[in-house]
């Protein structure tokens, strides 16, 4: 099966597992980068609800293949990632155990790690899928480290979809005035969380706050349509999305138009 952004020459890249320190914890991560010496921006790739599976590692390599130093932190390191065979109830409980404030601090340390990489050009972007989409939006509104952010079907961003909890005290849509970089919001027309109506609420909040953003709702696609290992995968939409993500990062991280 051909994949959007597929790496056809893995020898061009190097990938390795590593850890970085955040608030006394060693956070696991996967780093991929071009082998060829040069000046490269950074991208943080935030995993779906299932954690840093092979699919996320592969997506990280796809961004490295475009000329980025890409890092996929395992944000479940503190609580333990769910197993592929776990029920959605278990997955959801692990997700909801992650505190928003801690996620922002962990991602700041991930950005520090990227900034220290040899050949790092300075600019850092962030892209996330599912829970990672929500977390990308959270981070883009909670830190000044990013130059671009892509939120792919991040759910539970509006008050009606996400009642406040101690771990998640403020709906992400309410943080829109604090967005610190250009944002690309991606959703599927057939998704229920985030639904097109919830994306519209987010769009209105961003517009009212005068932010630089684009919203893209894909037809004939639902939640996680880029995840080629899941039944939700939609090849046509995935192949349309990839060049749009690449172009967005080209513009805001590489300075290309």
Assess contact for 182 and 148: CB atoms under 8 A: yes
Could you give all domains of the chain from N- to C-terminal order, each with its CATH number?
11-254 (3.40.50.1820)
Catalytic option among 152, 223, 228, 252: 223
Whether the CA torsion 79, 115, 130, 230 is positive or negative: it is negative
Question: What kind and span of H or E run contains 248?
Answer: helix 235-249
What pLDDT does residue 2 have? 85
223 is catalytic: yes
Catalytic option among 47, 55, 100, 130: 130
181 is catalytic: no
Q: In whole angstroms, give the CA distance from residue 96 to residue 4.
A: 31
Residues 6+ apart with CB under 8 A from 114: 42, 44, 69, 71, 120, 124
Catalytic option among 100, 151, 191, 228: 191
Q: In whole angstroms, give the CA distance from residue 112 to residue 194.
A: 30
Indicate the pTM of the whole model: 0.97
**151, 155, 159, 162 alpha-carbon torsion, rounded to 10°:** -140
- What secondary structure does DSSP assign to 172-225, as a single string? GGGGGGG--S-EEEEEETT-STT-HHHHHHHHHHHHHTT--EEEEEETT--TTT
Query: Along the 257 residues of the chain, how does pLDDT read in single tens digits?
Result: 789 999 999 999 999 999 999 999 999 999 999 999 999 999 999 999 999 999 999 999 999 999 999 999 999 999 999 988 899 999 999 999 999 999 999 999 999 999 999 999 989 999 999 999 999 999 999 999 999 999 999 999 998 888 889 999 999 999 999 999 999 999 999 999 999 999 999 999 999 999 999 999 999 999 999 999 999 999 999 999 999 999 999 999 998 75
């Amino acid at each position: 099966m051909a994949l959007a952004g597929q790496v056809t020459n893995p020898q061009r890249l190097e990938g390795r597992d590593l850890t970085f320190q955040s608030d006394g914890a060693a956070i696991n991560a996967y780093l991929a980068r071009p082998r060829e010496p040069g000046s490269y921006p950074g991208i943080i790739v935030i995993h779906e609800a299932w954690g840093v599976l092979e699919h996320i590692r592969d997506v990280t390599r796809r961004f490295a293949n475009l000329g980025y130093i890409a890092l996929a932190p395992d944000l479940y390191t503190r609580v333990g990632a769910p197993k592929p065979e776990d029920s959605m109830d278990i997955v959801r409980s692990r997700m909801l155990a992650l505190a928003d404030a801690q996620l922002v601090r962990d991602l700041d340390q991930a950005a520090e790690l990227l900034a220290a990489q040899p050949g790092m050009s300075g600019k850092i972007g962030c892209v996330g899928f599912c829970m990672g989409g929500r977390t990308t939006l959270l981070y883009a509104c909670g830190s000044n480290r990013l130059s671009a952010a892509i939120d792919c079907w991040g759910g539970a961003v509006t008050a009606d979809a996400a009642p406040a909890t101690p771990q998640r005290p403020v709906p992400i849509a309410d943080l829109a005035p604090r967005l610190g970089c250009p944002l690309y919001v991606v959703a599927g027309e057939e998704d229920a969380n985030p639904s097109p109506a919830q994306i519209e609420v987010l769009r209105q909040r961003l517009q009212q706050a005068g932010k630089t953003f684009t919203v893209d709702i894909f037809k004939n696609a639902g939640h996680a349509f880029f995840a080629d290992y899941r039944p939700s995968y939609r090849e046509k939409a995935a192949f349309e999305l990839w060049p749009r993500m690449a172009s967005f990062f080209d513009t805001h991280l590489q300075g290309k138009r």
